[in-house]
Structure 1
Amino acid sequence: MIIRIIGEGQYRAPEALCEELNKIDNRIVVLVSQGKAQEFRQELARLISEIKEKGESVSAEEILESDIIVPPEDLSLEEAKEVFTGSGIFED
């Protein structure tokens, strides 16, 4: 799976990592729906960190379509309410 972090580039993520990211994504959906801004930001930072640490960076010369687009770490709670709804950005 190819994941793009807005403003940071693309990463290849193996299936096992995607399962882990989906769990974080599901927590973010709950936190956003509860209006817990601080906890949401912590989990979004964790999501991005996991992608960067465990995914494989795609070179800028390689042009690939992204399967998932992750918003930047500075996303506001109001903006997150538009992004993290239903099953979130990772489909179950």
Structure 2
Amino acid sequence: MIVRIMGEGQVRVADSHFIELNKLDDELLAEMERGEQDAFRRTLGALLDAVRRLGEPLPEDSLEPSELILPGPDATLEEVREMLSDDGLIPG
């Protein structure tokens, strides 16, 4: 799956890694619902770090359509809340 991190670029992440990513996404969603700003910031950073670590960066001039768009590391709780679906940032 092609994942875009806003403001950074795209990475290709194997489907086998989405179990780990979904755990972080579930944790992020719970922290947002509780309004836990500090925990939200840590978990968003961990989620983005995991995508970077597990994914393979695409060339900057690549024009692949992104199947998933994640907020950048400086996104606010409110900005991320606007991006959420019922499943969180990551469907499934």
Taking structure 1 as the reference length, the TM-score comes to 0.92
Per-residue CA deviation, residues 22-60 of structure 1 (Å, 9 max, x unaligned), is 111111111101100100110000011011111000011
Matches within 5 A, 1:1-92: 1-92=1-92
Name the CA distance, whole Å, in 1 between partners of 2:31 and 2:83. Answer: 13
The percentage of counterpart residues that share the same residue type is: 33
Aligned residue type for 1:55: G
Larger mean Cα displacement after TM superposition, 16-25 or 30-39: 16-25
Taking structure 2 as the reference length, the TM-score comes to 0.92
Name the CA distance, whole Å, in 1 between partners of 2:19 and 2:85. Answer: 18
1:37/1:84 CA distance change after superposition, 3 Å: farther
Please say if residues 29 and 86 of structure 1, whose CA atoms lie closer than 8 Å, have aligned partners that are also in contact: no
In angstroms, what is the RMSD of aligned CA positions? 1.1
1:39/1:84 CA distance change after superposition, 3 Å: farther
Aligned residue type for 2:84: F
Name the CA distance, whole Å, in 2 between partners of 1:77 and 1:29. Answer: 10
Aligned residues: 92
